[in-house]
Amino acid sequence: MSDTEKITINMSVVDLGQVDLLVKEGFYSSRTDFIRTAIRNLLTTHSEKVRELVTKKAMVVGVVSFNKKDLEEIRSKGVKLEIKALGMCFLAEDISPDLALSTISSLEVMGVLKASDAVKEALGKRIKQ
């Protein structure tokens, strides 16, 4: 599993030119380095607000994962999950759509949801991204 995800952004030609100038002059090793640094700096600036929101929304920060055994155990207890993740939620390939439906009442992911297409389709409106 990769620690990074690819994104695409659109920038004005002037902004892009300024980034390229900074890269050419050695301030950053690449456009990607510049963009990562800018994002990290903004996330640092807003870190307190992010912490407040994560606490308020009772979210798991990082990677949360479930496999068939996990969900079968949850189902045996008669519990339904309200999953809230900031980062990644991974639902293993061995999870059937029926098992997911019987154990997950809602799924909110701020980041990446990795699950089979069948499970995503079954959960349908229960997924908030």
* Cα dihedral across residues 57, 115, 76, 125: positive or negative: positive
pTM above 0.75, yes or no: no
* Interval 34-44 mean pLDDT: 96
pLDDT greater than 90 at residue 26: yes
Tell me what pLDDT residue 19 has: 97
pLDDT of residue 56: 66
Let me know: does 84 contact 64? Beta carbons within 8 Å. Answer: no
Name the percent of the chain lying above pLDDT 70: 95
SS3 82: strand
Domain map (residue ranges) of the chain: 13-45, 49-128
pLDDT digits (tens, 9 = 90+) for 50-92: 888 876 666 888 999 999 999 999 999 888 999 999 999 999 9
β 127-128/104-114 pair status: parallel
Residues 118, 92 contacting (CB under 8 angstroms): no
